[in-house]
Structure 1
């Protein structure tokens, strides 16, 4: 198999820039008497690093800054000589077939500084530029330097007032890794003071510039003052994910265990730090900053498995992540057992007790063996136990308490104490936590919602003696009445309110009551009535209201009386206490007797009389002026009659009288015309009917013969009119011959400009004149004597010369005729 590897070195180099530096870290150790041994570790590319660049770092320029003012301490920086090198030969793979050609040397610089306590402590810093220009995860890597620094705290501010020693990483990472192959490396540190250590990934710092790659606070430039600047990630990379991997780069915050399976070739900068805590106070940080290179390599077998943070309970199924193995052997780290092994790929193992176990996995392929070792923490299972399901009364509560002591508690109610008091109905669960593991128990709380219902509420609207049974609904275990009775049903002899207490089998109590009332009987009587329309009638219930007596009418009125005018069915309800009675009654109107009938319509004129013949009517008035039963009508308009009918009720009615003119019809004057003519007689549009003396019913007819023609018309208002015309047909009414001139002059002088201009007077019969040029092409055709040629062809003047005409017509005598000849066009 081919994978890609990490190499901790730079490919760019130069005489001044530190492209030979792979990474570094700064630490310190307290020697007493305010003296600290400062140690700077640099990791150098011993294969591709420029020898002159390596030689330029034979000394390191180390600055010391005041932790409060951030200024350089007087007398600093100091130049420190280099020691070493020590070749880094550790690899991450036992079964690599072809290892990448990589070389890393470790150099170190040690110096003792006297640093008496000051407020803010001391910053110790070594700054160098620049990084490898081909790094993938930085913006402008070739112009970005490195800063390896630490902060020595003021011991006077520490909880035990004791000077600190920095934490020291135990191992260097291997000098290369392969893609798609897990990195498994213990990146933990030791601490001489026994402080608590926490591990994180961080963003590395910058120092120096391209113009001042080795700042010395002099001719070579100034060191950067705190707070120090940090590198800028290129797109997609962040502090916690600085390199492509699946799974990504991770470090266990408690153990410092570093894992990664890289997936992309390239060079990457990574930062890892360890924080020191003393009694909960952060007192120091050690940072390691180094650079990775990703290429390809060939590996036979890689052993790996998923390492759980905690195993909750004794049993766990391990997930094998090994690559290309043929067989496996597991050792689960039980020193007292020889049977704590398995040859399965992903075994399930039950640990005998809680604790921390060193679990080893051996992966074999042919003669090659790789191993993976990690510590797993087994958490003892907890067994929370809640009470059995329970029933409570409404308003009651249950107090619940965990039966075991745990790291944390979480109830379904959201509370996090070891005990709760709850009134909630339903399932309640408790989760108890140990580390990140939790176990659960649950119980169900039911509220006994059964309540007693008492029946027998009675209102007696009579003066009869009281003898009533009242009772409670079944289902209660116990009944207690306010009378002292303890049976479900009891008898009462007087009015009053009786209380019943019901108790369930769960001893939950509820209360209900029964009321028995008695009132004297109530009576009301309202009579029907008939009146003239719109007359208001006052109905009287004869019941006075007040106290516990009310009177309500169906029209919304209340009180003893109601005023009603609209006919209909009504009711009145009288209530005395809890007793009530009602009576219904009707109000009717005398029927209307007088009706004038439909509106009247007249044509041309009006002169008639209108008479009222209804018996027993009085006070007749026409249009508020004329009295009596007879009215002469001579003009259009509204006619309004007011009177009193036989019941003395006023009535009023009206009709609308309309007058319309007769329709206009005009067939024209009597006339003489040729035998060949057939005139159209038109009675005019817009009529609803036509009747001609010929029997026709259309708007128009053709006058074929001599004689009298008449028509009768009716318009939309029903008005009628008529007209007539006399037609006298003669063969000599007009000449029957046509005159065709032999020349014309279309020159626009107003004389002889048109052709033929024959003034033929017979209209409505056959007439056809065609004009041709000398080649026989038709240039014009006319079907009416009023039509003539203007001497143009297609809008352009025709040429002078001889043209031909052919004429066909029917003369006034009704005879067909024709004529042919020629004529001359002159201009």
Structure 2
């Protein structure tokens, strides 16, 4: 079955038979390489107990098997080599314990997936089946004999004959932290998706697979329902890690939360489902173990603020007012029940782009239990509140507790007066903020920003509930120092309908305090009126709309078609033969577009074939002009073109004597007066013979015969037309 893959790296070794005891957890992954045709990276991230694991069970390669989901048919397998091995770290490295040490081992290989083997609409899954798990796991039966199977589903690599790229979610390295009994613990198990797909997380019972301690690395078997681990009595998916708050996972973020009730080593699995455009396209399971220990009792620090002049401590949602004459710094206290504890202070402004404040000092250390320490929060000049809107500072105090620091948060609402920065002004060249517009009629004006402090300014515009580009509005952001201006240009399109009111908010930002700019805005309202539209008209250069043309006459039929419109809309002139294709009949006409007036020439040189045996036929051409306004109008003029055969002429009397003596009288056999051609009768040729039947003259044109070099005598001639011949005798006298 291995022929289904074309390997970039192909290394085949005998299966390792050592038991992979003390597998802690991990997950499979697949990554699409967009710059190479159907090249995917397939791999496994595995966590291995570094203290209790059997070193011989740390495989140099892992066998990852792929099956078709529809019927569990085997597609192939890859042998992925070990590419990385590193120790798992702790959130706080000083909190490590001697009974917990883990390696993260990564296996990966690049392979080309053949389209013929990976195009089934129901997709595929890959598995790694290996025994055995850590023998000291608390919440499952017979843990040392329990195998591990890592599972990942992925979609076909083509859909609707188009490449369908997808990579499985990517997860940061798991930290080897432990939880403490009866202490809240959070564990980030979430990932990100390179394709922008959404992820959901669910706690599930880990799969056990078909491997066992007697056959720890047997080839994997396809299945729609792999065996699951068996929980010990009292454990289920609802309390995988039991306690005051059993283990849960946030379905949107993957954050694990638990307050465990007993020490132990607990295995769990999280199913991560991948969705694109509302449809599930993939899934994988992440196995792991969490160690719960009996930690020394530790309490978090506590932040307190007593506002100046107040006998009580600050309570959240209270607004602290700082006047322009007040000091820039205020004092905050922090206590911690533990002596010799280092406390770190951090903070951020929640509702602003920049903090514009500092904390001094940022680290403090207790000397006694329940020691009270003090630090200052100092506001920068740009920490300013506008429009009576307070800013929200969030302070966090974090201690050195194990396994993760304990913390306290204090949120302070601050309204600070400002008298050092004047607000900018914004105006326009309009006489009113309400502008009446109609489709097709251009609107232009200038937007101005000005600042008396000569600060840097930015000028921008934004449609209220719509994008400016969706209505073809042209207004680009602009910058300036002290003053700035920008043109607004708009020709309302047809989607600006009568009765609409479109609001555009123009804003000027004083960028002295970039993260907290002082902004002023002005709104212009565009009221869409009925768009006036005068219909276009069409005429020709002909004196009348009928043309009669006799075939055989010289020249072509030529005239101009003229479209006009008193509006500024674009007009187009076109033509169409009524019941016939103009080009196939030899008519020449090219449509034209323009404004106000458009002239398009027409020409035609008809021939006899168009009559098809008839004496006369009429062809009607419809010439049309249309405008491209919101309420499109058209006008049409029809020209009737009648072609007919010329009248048949009688054969003239031909003289039977000629005297080619140069006196200008009866010198030639006159052929110029022969009947003109028409569609039914056309001149073919003339031949003259002597009396012995020898041809002495021949012509295909009606050219007079003047035989100055022949001797006198009797001659014969034959004049041929399409359907008749004229024969006669001719005496030549000299």
Superposition TM-score, scaled by structure 1 size: 0.36
Larger of the two Rg values belongs to structure: 1
TM-score (structure 2 length as normaliser): 0.40
